[in-house]
């Protein structure tokens, strides 16, 4: 495994359970503009790429889905369970191994049983993916 630098302010993410164990390592940094709680990011490695050395679209979708859902889950005083109802992605540009990718989230509906968020996945100033998602907070699992 190659050791890469992590930009200042990013710390290993606590989102390291279940499926996400296989896609990391993921890093998080608090946002400065209150659009969401944190930016989720990763350094692209060979495990994230397809045979052409381009970061796999499924990895970009996972990053966007996780970033939106985790930010929506943390809007209240407790961490709630959020389940993806819909995820829509526009793939705009590609990323390569060694690129640093960041998911910037804007929450558009933060309360209730159904919540909405948007995300831009970027590499430096390049927009790679634009995503929007709808999440459900089950009453038996969350505070919805």
CATH number at residue 104: 3.10.129.10
Residue 2 domain flag: no
The per-residue pLDDT for 21 is 84
- Tell me the CB-side half-sphere exposure of residue 38, using CA atoms within 13 A: 22
Residue 4 domain flag: no
Residue 144 domain flag: no
Which carries the bigger pLDDT value, residue 59 or residue 19? Answer: 59
Give me the number of domains the chain comprises.
1
For the whole prediction, is pTM greater than 0.85?
Answer: yes
Cα angle 11, 100, 95; round to 5: 150
Residue 52 domain flag: yes
Distance between CA 142 and CA 45 in Å, rounded?
34
Is the CB of residue 35 less than 8 Å from the CB of residue 90?
no
Mean pLDDT score, 10-35: 86
For 94-141, write each residue's pLDDT tens digit.
Answer: 999 999 999 999 999 998 999 999 999 999 999 999 999 999 999 865
Residue 5 domain flag: no
For 98-108, write each residue's pLDDT tens digit.
Answer: 999 999 999 99
pLDDT, averaged across the chain: 90
Backbone CA torsion sign across 63, 127, 32, 69? negative
Distance between CA 32 and CA 128 in Å, rounded?
22
Residue 47 domain flag: yes
Is the CB of residue 27 less than 8 Å from the CB of residue 40?
yes
Domain carrying residue 95: 11-136
Residue 82 domain flag: yes
Q: Which two tokens stand for residue 62?
A: 């996972």
Q: In what order do the strands lie in the sheet with 100-109?
A: 11-12, 27-30, 38-43, 100-109, 114-123, 126-136, 83-91
């Amino acid at each position: 495994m190659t050791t890469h630098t992590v930009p200042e302010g990013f710390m290993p993410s606590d989102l390291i359970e279940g499926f996400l164990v296989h896609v990391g390592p993921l890093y998080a940094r608090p946002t400065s503009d209150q659009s969401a709680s944190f930016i989720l990011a990763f350094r692209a490695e060979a495990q994230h790429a397809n045979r052409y050395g381009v970061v796999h679209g499924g990895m970009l979708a996972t990053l966007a889905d996780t970033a939106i859902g985790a930010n929506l889950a943390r809007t209240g005083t407790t961490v709630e369970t959020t389940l993806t109802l819909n995820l829509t992605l526009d793939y705009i540009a590609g990323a390569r191994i060694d690129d640093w990718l960041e998911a910037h989230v804007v929450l558009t509906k933060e309360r209730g049983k159904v919540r909405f968020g948007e995300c831009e996945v970027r590499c430096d100033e390049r927009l790679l993916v634009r995503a929007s998602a709808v999440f459900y907070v089950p009453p038996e699992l969350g505070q919805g």
